[in-house]
Amino acid sequence: MRFAIPFVIFLLLVVFLAAGLLYDPHEVPSPLINKPAPAFQLAQLHEPGKTFSPQEMRGQVWLLNTWASWCVSCLEEHLVLADLARSGDVPIYGLNYKDKRENALALLRELGNPYVLSVLDTDGRVGIDYGVYGVPETYLIDKNGLIRFKQIGPVTREILDKTILPMVTELNQ
């Protein structure tokens, strides 16, 4: 009985420390979850004469994936996105972030293009509106244009199967 209180305090401390160990400070929770996806109108990568804007996607569930040819972890993600594009489960749109058009085109020529289309955010301003701080980042956007999920860092098969695809199914209902 004498040790009950110190023991409870000790347990509390353990819980706090464990939570601190498991929490990754590099994943900053986005304040944009359940908020409207910021509007933009940007030139398309393959057809610079044409633009794309998220408003065109109303009524559809879709992914917005920020990527760049200089981004190493995007390469690892590329394979997962290619699989996803083949499955046709959810359309992927690319936000080509602070990149050179030629380099972006060359990368897609070499590795294949999982995107319905990509837009050019050359100066990174749209990236700032979306709270991008480390490419790749991926946003799941619902039929009403709300951001429902944000993946920071590469999308993996596991995240796709456990989180993104179940949410897509649910949002499509």
Number of residues forming the site for other proteins (CB under 8 A):
16
Is 115 or 130 the residue whose CB approaches other proteins more closely?
130
Distance between the two ends of the chain, CA-based, in angstroms? Answer: 56
Is 76 or 129 the residue whose CB approaches other proteins more closely?
129
CA distances from 119 to 10, 50, 114, 135, 165 (A): 53, 10, 13, 15, 24
- Which residues inside 123-142 make contact with other proteins, applying CB under 8 A? 123-124, 128-131, 133-134
CA distances from 133 to 65, 85, 108, 172 (A): 13, 25, 23, 29
As a whole number of angstroms, the distance between CA 82 and CA 99 comes to: 20
Which residue stretch of 30-38, 46-54, 136-144, 161-169 sits at the interface with other proteins (rule: CB under 8 A)?
30-38
Tokens for 47, please give them: 């057809």
Is residue 20 at the binding interface for other proteins, with CB under 8 A as the rule? no
Name the minimum Å distance from CB 85 to other proteins: 28
Give the residue carrying structure tokens 């990236």. Answer: 127
Name the minimum Å distance from CB 131 to other proteins: 4
Peptide bond into 136 cis (omega under 30): yes
Is residue 93 at the binding interface for other proteins, with CB under 8 A as the rule? no
Tokens for 126, please give them: 């749209």
Which residue stretch of 77-85, 111-119, 121-129, 139-147 sits at the interface with other proteins (rule: CB under 8 A)?
121-129
Is residue 79 at the binding interface for other proteins, with CB under 8 A as the rule? no
Is residue 8 at the binding interface for other proteins, with CB under 8 A as the rule? no
User: Could you list the residues that contact other proteins (CB under 8 A)?
Assistant: 25-26, 28-32, 98, 123-124, 128-131, 133-134
